[in-house]
C-alpha cells in the first residue's frame, strides 16, 4: 500500500512523484485524506503565493502609474487642483511647442552620447588592463568600483566645484598649460561635458567589471592560437577580445540608454538653482518634466505628456538598438556559432574544474 | 566519485587545483606577470577614482577663505573637518533626521527586497506551476521599463493616501524589484539541488518550511549580494525621495540638495555634508566591496 507524495519540481523531469509506504495511516482515514488534500493544495497554491508579493507591488507602483500616465496626459490636471477636463492631445501640443522641450531633448541626447561612448571605450580598456595575472587583483578591482558607492548627488556637488567657472580646479590646471578658462557652466556643450564626466566617473569602473567578467569567459586557447599565428597583444585585443565582447557591449549600451535618457540627479545639482542654467543650457527632459509638474506651471497633464513622450523615445531607441544588434549578429562570421558553443563549453569546463579543486 | 575530475583522480587534488589556477589566471594567453606599464595605468585609474572623493575630504577639512585662494587644494588636509561637520549638523537641514531616514529606508527595502525576491525566485527556479515561464519573461521585460516615468500618477496616488512627506512613500515602491527576483531565481536554479527539496518534502515539510529550511540557507550568498546592491541603491537614490518627501522629512541626498540650495557659497560646509553622507557607504565598501565586485562580475556572466 502506498500514497503518492507529489513533489512540485521542475517539469519535464520524468517521474517527479515518489512512492512512499504509508504505514502510519490507511488511506481511508478521513484525517489522512484531509491532510493529503491540504498537501496537494499546498503544492498547487504555494508557487502563486510566493510570486504574488512581487506582482502586487509591481502592479500598484510600476504598471499602474505607467499606464495611468497616459490617462493623466490627456486631461487638464493640476498639482493641487487635481483632475480637470479631458483635453485630448492639447498637453502634448503645449509641450512640444515650448522651445524648452527641444532644448531639453538636445541636452539629454548630448549628455547621453558624451557619457555613453567614452564610457564604454574606457571601460573596455580598463577591463583589458585588469584582465592580467595581477598581484592584489581584488584591490585593483575594488579600486575601480569605489566611485559607485558615492551618491550621484554627492558626485555632482564635488564635480560642480571641480568644474567651477571661476577659481575651479580644472580651469586652474588647464590654465597652467595655457588653455584659457572654459565656461563649464555658461556654455551648453562644456556643461554637457562636465555633467557627462560625473556620469562617467561613477559608472566606468562598474562597467569595466562587467567587461572583465565577459573577457574572462573567453577561452584562453583562442589567445594561444592567435599567439601562434603571430598576433601582437594589440592585435589580440582588437581581433579576439573586442569581437567576442559584442553581446556584453550591447547589454551595457541598452542598460545605459534606459538610465541615461532619464538623467536627473547630476544636472539638477550642477548649480544651486537646479533649473539647468540661465538659458536651460543643461536642462534634461526629466528636469523639464519636474519643472512642468512641480515648478511654476504645476501642470501634471503636461508633465505626464513629457513622461509618455520620453517613454516612447526610449522604446524607439531600444528597438533601433535591437535592430542593429540583429544586423550585426546576422552578418557575423559563419564560425561564430560554433565559437559561442565552444565558449560555453569552456566556461562550464572551467567551472567544473574549479568546483573539483575546491571539493 | 564520478564528479571528481579526472586530473584530481590521477594526479591528486593539488595538481587539479594548480591546473585550474593556470587555466583561469592566464592574462591574454600569457601566464607571466604583467610589467610596470600595467601597474602604472592601473595606478592612474585608481587615482582618478579616488581623487574626487579625497578632494571633497580636503575641502571639508578646510575653510572658505583658503578654498577661495587655492583652486587646487593642498594634498594635506586642513584642521577644520569636525568643525565643518558640526556646522552641517547644526544647520537647518535636519541632518540627524536625514541620517535616520536613510538608514530606515535602506534597511527596510534591503530586507524586503531580499525576502520577497528569494521567495519568488525559489518558486520560479524550483516549483512547477502553470504560467511559470511567461511570468518570468514578464518580470525580465519589466526590468527594461523605465519606472521613473510613472512618477506623476505615483505622486497622485501618494497624495491621495496622504503619504507625501512620509517615509512610507519611499519604502513601498522599493519593496520589491524585478532585478531581485531574476537574480535569485538564476542563482537558486543552480545552487539548490532538487534532491534537497525532495528530501524535505518526503520528510513531511510543507512548502513554506521547505522554503525556510532548504531554500533560504542555499540562497544566502546571492541574498547577501542582493542586499548590498539594494542598500547602496537606496542610500544614493534622489529623484523620487526629492519629489515625494521634500525638505520636511529628507533622506541624506535630499538633505544635501537643501544644503547646496541654502549655503551654496560655503564650499567647506557643503563638502563636509558630502563627506558625512558618504562615509557610511565607504565603510560598507571597505567591509563588503569584495562581494560587490564579485556580484557585478557574476551578474555580467549570467545577464
Partners of residue B27 on adjacent β-strands: B30
Chain-centre distance for alpha carbon A179? 36
A72 touches B152 (CB < 8 A): yes
ipTM for the complex shown: 0.86
pLDDT for position B164 = 92
Residues of chain A with pLDDT > 90, as a percent, come to 52
Non-local (6+) Cβ contacts of A341 within 8 A are none
Average pLDDT over residues A236-248: 88
Question: What are B159-215's pLDDT values in tens digits?
Answer: 999 999 999 999 999 999 999 999 999 999 989 999 999 999 888 888 899 999 999
CA distance A129 to chain B (A): 6
- Closest residue, chain B, to A224 (C-alpha): B29
Place of cell 535591437: A322
A142 touches chain B (CB under 8 A): yes
Question: What are A143-181's pLDDT values in tens digits?
Answer: 999 999 999 999 999 999 999 998 899 999 999 998 889
Partners of residue A4 on adjacent β-strands: A19
pLDDT for position B2 = 38
Question: What are B208-232's pLDDT values in tens digits?
Answer: 999 999 999 999 999 999 999 999 9
Chain-centre distance for alpha carbon A88? 33
Give the residue among A283, A290, A310 at the shortest CA–CA distance from A191: A283
Instruction: Say how far apart CA A118 and CA A120 lie, in whole Å.
Output: 6
Instruction: Say how far apart CA B270 and CA B259 lie, in whole Å.
Output: 6
| Residue A23 predicted with pLDDT over 80 | no
Give the residue among B183, B252, B178, B251 at the shortest CA–CA distance from B221: B183
B271 touches A157 (CB < 8 A): yes
A319 touches chain B (CB under 8 A): no
CB contact under 8 A, A48 and B298: no
| Residue A34 predicted with pLDDT over 90 | no
Give the residue among A107, A84, A77 at the shortest CA–CA distance from A297: A77
Arch. (CATH architecture) of B92-302:
Orthogonal Bundle (1.10)
Question: Considering CB atoms only, which of A66, A209, A357 is closest to B149?
Answer: A66
CA distance B170 to chain A (A): 11
Reported as a pLDDT band with limits 50, 70 and 90, residue A232 is: confident
Reported as a pLDDT band with limits 50, 70 and 90, residue A262 is: very high
A293 touches chain B (CB under 8 A): yes
Instruction: Say how far apart CA B279 and CA A149 lie, in whole Å.
Output: 10
Average pLDDT over residues B32-50: 90
Q: Break chain B into its structural domains and give their ranges.
A: 1-31, 92-302
Chain-centre distance for alpha carbon B222? 12
CB contact under 8 A, B301 and A217: yes
Question: What are B62-93's pLDDT values in tens digits?
Answer: 998 888 888 899 899 999 999 999 999 999 88
| Residue B123 predicted with pLDDT over 80 | yes
Cβ burial of B243 (10 Å; 0-12, 13-18, 19+) is buried
Given its phi and psi angles, is residue A254 left (phi above 0), alpha (psi -120 to 50 degrees) or beta? alpha
Question: What are B235-273's pLDDT values in tens digits?
Answer: 999 999 999 998 889 999 999 999 999 988 899 999 999
- Closest residue, chain B, to A136 (C-alpha): B39
- Closest residue, chain B, to A301 (C-alpha): B152
Average pLDDT over residues B277-302: 87
pLDDT for position A359 = 23
SS (H, E, C) chain A: CEEEECCCCCCCCCCCCEEEECCCCCCCCHHHHHHHHHHHHHHHHHHHHHHHHHHHHHHHHHHHHHHHHHHHHCEEEECCCEEEEECCCHHHHHHHHCHHHHHHHHHHHHHHHHHHHHHHHHHHHHHHHHCCCCCCHHHHHHHHHHHHHCCHHHHHHHHHHHCCCCCCHHHHHHHHCCCCCCCCCCCHHHHHHHHHHHHHHHHHHHHHHHHHHHHHCCCHHHHHHHHHCCCCHHHHHHHHHHHHCHHHHHHHHHHHHHHHCCCCHHHHCCCCCCCCCCCCCCCCHHHHHHHHHHCCCCEHHHHHHHHHHHHHHHHHHHHHHHHHHHHHHHHCCCCHHHHHHHHHHHHHHHHHHHHHHHC
Place of cell 550585426: A328
A112 touches chain B (CB under 8 A): no
pLDDT for position B49 = 95
pLDDT for position B232 = 95
Question: What are B14-25's pLDDT values in tens digits?
Answer: 555 555 544 444
pLDDT for position A37 = 82
pLDDT for position A24 = 52
pLDDT for position A331 = 56
Question: What are B23-37's pLDDT values in tens digits?
Answer: 444 444 445 678 888
CB contact under 8 A, A303 and B152: yes
Partners of residue A86 on adjacent β-strands: A75
Instruction: Say how far apart CA B170 and CA A346 lie, in whole Å.
Output: 45
Q: Which fold has domain A98-358?
A: MetI-like fold (1.10.3720)
DSSP annotation string for B200-212: HHHTT--HHHHII
Question: Considering CB atoms only, which of B142, B201, B235 is closest to A151?
Answer: B235
Range with the largest mean pLDDT of A34-48, B87-101, B135-149: B87-101
| Residue A42 predicted with pLDDT over 90 | no
| Residue B99 predicted with pLDDT over 60 | yes
Residue A335 or B113, more confident: B113
Instruction: Say how far apart CA B122 and CA B120 lie, in whole Å.
Output: 5
For residue B30, what is the DSSP state? B
Which three three-digit cell numbers place residue A35? 491532510
Instruction: Say how far apart CA A273 and CA B77 lie, in whole Å.
Output: 29
Question: What are A266-311's pLDDT values in tens digits?
Answer: 999 999 999 999 999 999 999 999 999 998 888 999 999 999 999 9
Task: Show residues of chain B in contact with A290, CB under 8 Å.
Answer: 243
Give the residue among B254, B157, B227 at the shortest CA–CA distance from A152: B254
CB contact under 8 A, A62 and B127: no
Q: How many CB pairs under 8 A join A and B?
A: 363
Average pLDDT over residues A261-269: 94
CB contact under 8 A, B50 and A148: no
Question: Considering CB atoms only, which of A153, A227, A352 is closest to B238?
Answer: A153
Task: Show residues of chain B in contact with A152, CB under 8 Å.
Answer: 236, 238, 253
Reported as a pLDDT band with limits 50, 70 and 90, residue A330 is: low
Cβ burial of B66 (10 Å; 0-12, 13-18, 19+) is middle
Question: Considering CB atoms only, which of B8, B116, B296 is closest to A53?
Answer: B116
Task: Show residues of chain A in contact with B56, CB under 8 Å.
Answer: 154, 157-158
Give the residue among A27, A205, A225 at the shortest CA–CA distance from B49: A205
Average pLDDT over residues A112-131: 93
Out of A73-82, A106-115, B97-106, which region has the weakest mean confidence (pLDDT)? A73-82
Amino acid at each position: 500500500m502506498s500514497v503518492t507524495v507529489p513533489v512540485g519540481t521542475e517539469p519535464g523531469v520524468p517521474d517527479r512523484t515518489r512512492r512512499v509506504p504509508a504505514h502510519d495511516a490507511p488511506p481511508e482515514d478521513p484525517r489522512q485524506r484531509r491532510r493529503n488534500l491540504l498537501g496537494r493544495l499546498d503544492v498547487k497554491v504555494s508557487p502563486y503565493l510566493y510570486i504574488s508579493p512581487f506582482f502586487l507591488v509591481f502592479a500598484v507602483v510600476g504598471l499602474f502609474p505607467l499606464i495611468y500616465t497616459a490617462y493623466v496626459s490627456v486631461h487638464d490636471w493640476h498639482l493641487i487642483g487635481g483632475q480637470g477636463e479631458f483635453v485630448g492631445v492639447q498637453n502634448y501640443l503645449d509641450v512640444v511647442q515650448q522651445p524648452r522641450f527641444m532644448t531639453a531633448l538636445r541636452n539629454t541626447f548630448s549628455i547621453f552620447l558624451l557619457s555613453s561612448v567614452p564610457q564604454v571605450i574606457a571601460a573596455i580598456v580598463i577591463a583589458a588592463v585588469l584582465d592580467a595575472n595581477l598581484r592584489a587583483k581584488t584591490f585593483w578591482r575594488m579600486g575601480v568600483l569605489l566611485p559607485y558607492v558615492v551618491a550621484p548627488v554627492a558626485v555632482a556637488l564635488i564635480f560642480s566645484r571641480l568644474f567651477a567657472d571661476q577659481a575651479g580646479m580644472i580651469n586652474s590646471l588647464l590654465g597652467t598649460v595655457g588653455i584659457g578658462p572654459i565656461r563649464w557652466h555658461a556654455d551648453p556643450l562644456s556643461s554637457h561635458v562636465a555633467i557627462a564626466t560625473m556620469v562617467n566617473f561613477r559608472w566606468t569602473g562598474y562597467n569595466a567589471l562587467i567587461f572583465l567578467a565577459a573577457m574572462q569567459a573567453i577561452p584562453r586557447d583562442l589567445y594561444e592560437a592567435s599567439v601562434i599565428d603571430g598576433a601582437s597583444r594589440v592585435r589580440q585585443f582588437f581581433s579576439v577580445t573586442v569581437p567576442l565582447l559584442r553581446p556584453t557591449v550591447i547589454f551595457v549600451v541598452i542598460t545605459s540608454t534606459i538610465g541615461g535618457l532619464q538623467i536627473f540627479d547630476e544636472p539638477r545639482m550642477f548649480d544651486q538653482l537646479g533649473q539647468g542654467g540661465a538659458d536651460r543650457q543643461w536642462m534634461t527632459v526629466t528636469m523639464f518634466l519636474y519643472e512642468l509638474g512641480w515648478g511654476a506651471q504645476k501642470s501634471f497633464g503636461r508633465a505626464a505628456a513629457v513622461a509618455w513622450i520620453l517613454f516612447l523615445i526610449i522604446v524607439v531607441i531600444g528597438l533601433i538598438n535591437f535592430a542593429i544588434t540583429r544586423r550585426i549578429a546576422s552578418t557575423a562570421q559563419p564560425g561564430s556559432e560554433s565559437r559561442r558553443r565552444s565558449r560555453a563549453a569552456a566556461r562550464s569546463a572551467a567551472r567544473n574544474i574549479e568546483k573539483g579543486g575546491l571539493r | 566519485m564520478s564528479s571528481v575530475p579526472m586530473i584530481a583522480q590521477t594526479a591528486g587534488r593539488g595538481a587539479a587545483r594548480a591546473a585550474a589556477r593556470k587555466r583561469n589566471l592566464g592574462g591574454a594567453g600569457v601566464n607571466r606577470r604583467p610589467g610596470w606599464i600595467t601597474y602604472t595605468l592601473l595606478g592612474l585609474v585608481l587615482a582618478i577614482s579616488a581623487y574626487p572623493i579625497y578632494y571633497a575630504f580636503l575641502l571639508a577639512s578646510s575653510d572658505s577663505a583658503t578654498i577661495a585662494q587655492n583652486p587646487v587644494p593642498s594634498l594635506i588636509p586642513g584642521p577644520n573637518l569636525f568643525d565643518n561637520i558640526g556646522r552641517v549638523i547644526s544647520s537647518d537641514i535636519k541632518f540627524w533626521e536625514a541620517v535616520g531616514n536613510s538608514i530606515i529606508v535602506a534597511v527596510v527595502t534591503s530586507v524586503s527586497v531580499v525576502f520577497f525576491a528569494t521567495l519568488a525566485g525559489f518558486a520560479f527556479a524550483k516549483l512547477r506551476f502553470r504560467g511559470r515561464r511567461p511570468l518570468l519573461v514578464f518580470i525580465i521585460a519589466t526590468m527594461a521599463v523605465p519606472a521613473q516615468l510613472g512618477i506623476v500618477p505615483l505622486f497622485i496616488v501618494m497624495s491621495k493616501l496622504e503619504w507625501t512627506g512620509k517615509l512610507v512613500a519611499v519604502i513601498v515602491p522599493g519593496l520589491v524589484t524585478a532585478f531581485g527576483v531574476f537574480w535569485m531565481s538564476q542563482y537558486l536554479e543552480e545552487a539548490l539541488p532538487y534532491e534537497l527539496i525532495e528530501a524535505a518534502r518526503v520528510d513531511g515539510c510543507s512548502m513554506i518550511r521547505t522554503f525556510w529550511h532548504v531554500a533560504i540557507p542555499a540562497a544566502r550568498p546571492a541574498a547577501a549580494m542582493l542586499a548590498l546592491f539594494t542598500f547602496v541603491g537606496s542610500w544614493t537614490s534622489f529623484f523620487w525621495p526629492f519629489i515625494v518627501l521634500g525638505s520636511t522629512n529628507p533622506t541624506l541626498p535630499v538633505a544635501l540638495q537643501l544644503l547646496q540650495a541654502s549655503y551654496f557659497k560655503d564650499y567647506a560646509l557643503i563638502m563636509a555634508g558630502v563627506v558625512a553622507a558618504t562615509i557610511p557607504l565607504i565603510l560598507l565598501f571597505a567591509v563588503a566591496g569584495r562581494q560587490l565586485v564579485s556580484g557585478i562580475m557574476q551578474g555580467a556572466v549570467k545577464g
